[in-house]
Structures are given as structure tokens and as C-alpha cells.
A and B are shown apart, each in its own frame.
Chain A
Amino acid sequence: MQPNDLERIARQIRLRDVQAVYEAGAGHIGGEMSAIDILTALYFRVLRIWPDQPKHPDRDRFVLSKGHVALALYITLAKRGFLPEEEISTFLKPHSRLNGHPNCNKVPGVETNTGPLGHGLPVAVGMAKAAKILSADYHTYVLTGDGEMQEGSNWEAISSAAQFGLNNLTLIIDHNRFQQGASLKETNDLAPFSSKLTSFGWDVTEINGNAMAEIVPALEKRGDRPHCIVAHTNKGHGISFMQDRADWHHRVPNAEQYKIAIAELSEAQS
């Protein structure tokens, strides 16, 4: 699949995401827009997966540590054949298996339950360590938010990944520079991430996380050490009035804003 095809799929996922947030009246739209290009590249190009066998032992593992952007994952999984696309309309509805954070026991393709931040990376370290012990050749990917890196558990895991020599682990930090309440800079600014990860013994690649041509080679990169991709992204990417605005972390567009968002995303598609 070529970058152009991936960009087309990412736009379709964005459109469905905006629509689902608007219809459900809730969601984490800003962080979904920033992460969708990465999810698209993973599921439509990079991951070795079998949608009809979601527990296949040789599958690559992907952990969505920023579990609050579950909707973007659900849409991606549905588009990739893990669940019916029409099921997206049940998002957040009573008894839907698609709640606000992903559930691995209900949704095929979800590897572990996330939601509280700082959980996905330690679990991913365990997955990668298991592959080493079993001489399995699957690769483990984990996507965290940049604000999420404020959780101390991540740094416990970063340290152990280097200690264990997990060159089969790729951490992607969705560096959109905003957390729920404000920018990282105004809150607890861990940036720059690159020097910190390097000093912990990781390889680091910095990319534009909304540019397919940069995302794919970074995800496919292999080396001798655990790999961190610092993905510089825009919160609300693709929708002009949401871009880089902290208040679009989990706002819901009104009718007028919805119309503009759909128009902008559709225009980009044509």
C-alpha cells in the first residue's frame, strides 16, 4: 500500500471519527486526529496481523496506551476487518462493547485494557520480553500520548526495556504538545523527549507524525536497541479550528462546527 493510499484511508477514518463523536456527543477528538495517521500506517501497512485470527500467536502486538482515543482504534480495526464497520454507530451506547476505552475481552484486535495512563508501555515491555524468551519474531508497538509520559511507570518501563535489550519494541510518542487541560509546556514539560530516551539507552527517530512518508519508514526501522519514535503531530490535525487547541481534547463540535469539519476533511479527500 502506497503513502497516497494510506493518506486516503486516514482521511476516511478521520471523517468517520468526527461523525461518530458528533453522533455520540462525546469522545477525545483532538488526540484522535493527531494519532490517526500513525494508526493507519500500522494497521494498513506495518503490522503483521490476521483480522480473522486476532489471537494468532505470531501476530505483531499493538498497544494503544492512550486508551482515550479508543474510537480512532475502533474505526481503524473495523476498516481492517476486525469488527463490522456498522458497529461504530454503537460507540458509547448502553451495552455497546465499544466504550470510551478499549476492552481486550470484548473487542477483537485489542491486546490489553487501557484507559488509566502509563499502563501500556510496561505491558508492551512484557510482550516484547516474551518474544525474546520464546524466540518468537513478532514485533511490539505501543502508542502513548506526550502528556502521558508524565506518568512515572513509563520511565520504569523505558529503563527495563533497555536493560532487557528489547530491539523488538517500538514506542511511538504522539507528541501533539497538548494534554487535557493545557499545553505540556505550561504543565510539566518533558520535551524534548529525544535526549531523555537516548540517555536511557534507546534509539530515537523524530518524525512528522502526520506525514505518511515519514511514519512508515520509522515504524519499519529495526536496530539493536528499543526504538522510540517521537512523532511530532498536531492535536486536531486536519480540522482548522481544532488544530493545536487544548480545549479540543474532548470537546464535541456543534452543528455548525461539524459541517465545517466534514467539509474540510472531504475537501482534502477529493
Chain B
Amino acid sequence: MNAISNAPKLHDCRDAFAATLERLGAENGRVVAVCNDSVGSSKLGGFKSQFPDRLINVGIAEQNMVGVGAGLANGGLLPFVCAAACFLTGRSLEQVKADIAYSNANVKLVGISSGMAYGELGPTHHSIEDFAWTRVLPNLPVIAPCDSIETAAAVEWAATFDGPVFLRLSRVGVPDLLPKDHVFQPGKADLLRDGDAVTLIANGTLTHRMVKAAEILAGEGIEARVLNMATVRPIDVEAVVAAVKDTGAILTAEEHSTYGGLGSAIAEVVVAEAPAPMKILGVPGIFAPTGSAEFLLDEFGMSPAAVAEAAKALIARKSGRG
């Protein structure tokens, strides 16, 4: 009973996104929402009832949706284009490249239910490629908030930033980790716990698992640094270099393929600026089997206990004992 009553409350970050968008919509008549028949799954019902003329539902037509977003921005509006991340980035990637990133259109792309949030629906509905696809595009910050507080702060920031943004949100419940007054700073990692044995870096639904892994390690006398790195592009070079300098090894985890995501972005910095042992956890370059997001994260070695074990193996490599 005690364990249950002590369990942190879990939040669906879509709620924080929707509440923030509604507030922005009330403050600024230029804020519009664009979606692909995804009013419900993007939690745009409240926005629609308050601002019916500013909810643009193009139907099941993602290429058109992204192009329309670019055109709305050209006309002086501030569009938030919301759709399941797998379709927003996969189906309309060329529109994201040419109409949004290359044109530098002031459009906020909001990928809902990213990663393996649609776990049991299978790999067609998983979005474990989107970091890789979007972070190679110039002009486009790529951001995966770790909790409802950071989600609200990132949406707030995106509305003030003059340029495109890709926000990668999940529907999988996560506990609040950041202080209530957190201000989002693009490209800046958040130090959640300090230590000198190893640095654990994650974003999105993985950050809270890293915090728990660090608690397990602490129980064994191993102090790990934990960084929440919501911004995948531009990557926080300074935090990565400092992590190597102070702790000598980096372990990353993400609800994404191990190819081309957060771990890869960090490895690019490590190789160029501060070579050190690294371990990248994620979906190991395969189409995932059937299962919920939580089940699959555990399956791929990202339970807090498994992360702690991987961290110990990495620490051993660091000291040449592995």
C-alpha cells in the first residue's frame, strides 16, 4: 500500500501541450492548430471549441497538412501542426524538408504519440526514426520534453521562437521531474543529479527511467550524473564535453532506434571533442515486436535495473577492466 501511495503521479504530456496551446490561443489570435483528422489524438478538442475558426483540419492528408502549415505561416499566422509523429515525419518528410526547414517557415511541428507509444499497433505506427530524419535538417530544432512541465515550457518557447521547431511528444505517462517554474532553454541540458562515475543522458519518456537507474546505482555506492537532454538539435556540446571530463563515460537511452538519434548526436560530439567509452541504448535497429511502449522499453534493456547494469559495465570499460 505504501509503495502505491508513494508512486509519483504520471502525466500524459499531451494534456500540458493542449492546455498551453489553448492559453497561447487566447493570448494571440494568430495561433492556429493544423491537424490530419487528429483532433482527438492531438487533444485539440478544447482548442477547437474555443477557437473553431483557427482549427484547420485537412483530413487524412499529411503532405497537404505540412504544406498548408507553411502557407499559413507565410500569411502571418503562427501554426502548430499536430499529428501522430510517425505520419508527420515519415509521410511528409519532404514537405518538412523543403516547405518548413529549407524555407525556414515559422511552423511548429508537433509529433504526438512518438516513439513506441502506439506499441501494440506495430512498427507502422511507431516513430522511432524521427530524430534521425529531422535532426539532419538545417534550421529545425528537435525537442523531446521529459515531463509535463518541460512540455508546457517548450511549447511556450516554441511560440516565441521565430522559425520552425519539431516537438516530439508522447502519450505514455511520465512523472514530473523538473521544477514547476522551469524555463525551457533550447540546446541546454538539465542536470537532474550529479555524480562522477558515469553520465546517464536521456530525453522524453526515458529521462525518469535514468533517474531511477541512478538511484539504484547510488544504492550500490556509485554516483551517476543524470542529464535530461530534450534538445537533440542543436546538441548541447558543452554538457557532453563536461560529462566526459567529469565522469569519463556516457550512457544514453532513448525511445528511438539506436541509429541516428540522441545517442548518435552525442557520439558525434564525443568522437570529435572528447573521446570516451559510450553505450547507446534504444531500439537496436529492428522493427519492434508486439507489446506496449513500457514493455518494449524493458524488452530492449531500458528498465532502470537494466540501465544500471549497463552503466556498471560501461564504468568497467572506462577503467579498462571490462
Q: Which residues of A contact B (CB under 8 A)?
A: 57, 61, 103-105, 111-116, 118-119, 121-131, 133-134, 136, 140, 152-153, 156-157, 159-160, 163-164
Task: Find out whether the CB atom of B58 lies under 8 angstroms from the CB atom of A153.
Answer: no
B242 at the interface (CB under 8 A from A): no
Cβ-neighbour of B75 out of A134, A160, A164 (below 8 A): A134
B25 at the interface (CB under 8 A from A): no
Residue of B nearest to A164 (CB): B56
Task: Find out whether the CB atom of A122 lies under 8 angstroms from the CB atom of B98.
Answer: no
Query: Which residues of B sit under 8 angstroms from A126, Cβ to Cβ?
Result: 67-75, 79
Task: Find out whether the CB atom of A125 lies under 8 angstroms from the CB atom of B75.
Answer: no
Task: Find out whether the CB atom of A127 lies under 8 angstroms from the CB atom of B71.
Answer: yes
24 A-B residue pairs with CB within 8 Å: A103-B102, A112-B74, A113-B98, A119-B95, A119-B98, A122-B67, A122-B71, A123-B67, A124-B71, A126-B79, A127-B75, A129-B56, A129-B75, A130-B75, A130-B77, A153-B63, A153-B64, A153-B95, A156-B61, A156-B64, A159-B59, A159-B61, A160-B64, A164-B56
B85 to chain A, nearest CB (A): 20
B76 at the interface (CB under 8 A from A): yes
Query: Which residues of B sit under 8 angstroms from A103, Cβ to Cβ?
Result: 102
Query: When A105-B104, A122-B71, A134-B76 are in contact, do A112 and B99 touch as well, CB less than 8 Å?
Result: yes
Count contacts on B: residues with CB < 8 A to the other chain.
31
Question: Interface majority SS on B: helix, strand, loop or mixed?
Answer: helix
Task: Find out whether the CB atom of B59 lies under 8 angstroms from the CB atom of A115.
Answer: no
B155 at the interface (CB under 8 A from A): no
Task: Find out whether the CB atom of A152 lies under 8 angstroms from the CB atom of B94.
Answer: no
Query: When A119-B95, A134-B76 are in contact, do A113 and B102 touch as well, CB less than 8 Å?
Result: yes
Task: Find out whether the CB atom of B72 lies under 8 angstroms from the CB atom of A152.
Answer: no
The 7 closest A-B pairs by CB, nearest first: A126-B71, A130-B75, A122-B67, A156-B64, A156-B61, A126-B68, A153-B63
Most central of B59, B63, B67, B104 by chain A CB within 10 Å: B67
Query: Which residues of B sit under 8 angstroms from A153, Cβ to Cβ?
Result: 63-64, 67, 95
Query: When A112-B99, A113-B102, A160-B59 are in contact, do A122 and B74 touch as well, CB less than 8 Å?
Result: no
* CB neighbors of A among B38-76 (8 A): 53-54, 56, 58-59, 61, 63-76
Query: Which residues of B sit under 8 angstroms from A61, Cβ to Cβ?
Result: 74-75
Query: Which residues of A sit under 8 angstroms from B65, Cβ to Cβ?
Result: 122
Query: Which residues of A sit under 8 angstroms from B64, Cβ to Cβ?
Result: 122, 125, 153, 156-157, 160
Query: Which residues of A sit under 8 angstroms from B66, Cβ to Cβ?
Result: 122
Query: Which residues of B sit under 8 angstroms from A118, Cβ to Cβ?
Result: 63
Residue of B nearest to A163 (CB): B59
Query: Which residues of A sit under 8 angstroms from B117, Cβ to Cβ?
Result: none
Residue of B nearest to A136 (CB): B75
Task: Find out whether the CB atom of A111 lies under 8 angstroms from the CB atom of B74.
Answer: yes
B103 at the interface (CB under 8 A from A): yes
Cβ-neighbour of A130 out of B63, B71, B95 (below 8 A): B71
Task: Find out whether the CB atom of A129 lies under 8 angstroms from the CB atom of B98.
Answer: no
Task: Find out whether the CB atom of B77 lies under 8 angstroms from the CB atom of A133.
Answer: yes
Task: Find out whether the CB atom of B67 lies under 8 angstroms from the CB atom of A125.
Answer: yes
Query: When A112-B71, A129-B68 are in contact, do A122 and B76 touch as well, CB less than 8 Å?
Result: no
Task: Find out whether the CB atom of A133 lies under 8 angstroms from the CB atom of B54.
Answer: yes
A191 to chain B, nearest CB (A): 23
B230 at the interface (CB under 8 A from A): no
Given A57-B76, A105-B103, A156-B58, 18 more pairs with CB closer than 8 A: A103-B102, A112-B70, A112-B74, A116-B94, A118-B63, A122-B63, A122-B70, A122-B95, A123-B74, A123-B99, A126-B68, A126-B71, A127-B75, A129-B72, A130-B77, A131-B75, A133-B75, A164-B56
B246 to chain A, nearest CB (A): 40
* CB neighbors of A among B74-112 (8 A): 74-77, 79, 94-95, 98-99, 102-105
A121 to chain B, nearest CB (A): 8
Cβ-neighbour of B99 out of A57, A119, A136, A152 (below 8 A): A119
B280 at the interface (CB under 8 A from A): no
B197 at the interface (CB under 8 A from A): no
